[in-house]
Amino acid sequence: MTPKADFFAGIGIVVFSAVMFGIAGKMPKPVAYGMGPGGYPMLVAGALMALGAILAVQGWLGIRRLSANKANENNAGESKKSSDPVKKMLSLAELKGIALLAFSFWAYVFLVKYLGFLYTTPVFLFLFLLQYYWGTTGVKPGRRELIRMILISVISTGVSWALFNYAFRIILPDFYFL
């Protein structure tokens, strides 16, 4: 991603995490001991908030570095007609990719209630990885990349499911129609 995209993505993640942290904080407090129902969401939201802040700071520093480099080039008398990555706007293809990703998040949240975590998550992760690969490389993935994406999707879903079911004792959504 570009420094500008990193900066705005980091700010968005911080805002989203702050809202989620506030919502999780309003959940009932534990009766005897432990974190209670809002404990894990607050922990995840706090970690996500910290990582979003790091991303935003890195993006801001990258923007400043690119601006300084551009100023140095202009002061040295080099007049190249190159696109300034700091002021680069999103192209129509990038906007379509963002819209597709937002729609896929919405569809995942909607479908996970009915089809369950184990059926929807690998499909969503595979489509996300596929879109990311096309967006960053601009070429269709080969057989090896597709197999890698499928393995990553299935293994990470299985590990997440096992972690939540056995370690955290949190039951994830199951297939609704059975």
Q: Domain coordinates of the chain in residue numbers?
A: 1-86, 90-178
C-alpha closest to that of 154 among 122, 107, 108, 118: 122
Displacement of CA 147 from its chain's centroid (Å): 22
Mark 20-51 as b/e (b = at least 16 C-beta within 10 Å).
Answer: bbeebeeeeeeeeeeeeebeebbeebeebbee
Half-sphere exposure of 156 (CA within 13 A, CB side): 14
Helix (H) or strand (E) holding 168: none
Per-residue pLDDT of the chain (178 residues; tens, 9 = 90+): 678 888 888 898 999 999 888 888 888 877 677 677 778 888 899 999 999 999 999 989 988 888 877 777 776 655 555 555 545 666 777 778 778 888 888 888 889 888 989 999 999 999 989 888 887 777 889 999 999 999 999 999 999 999 988 887 888 888 766 5
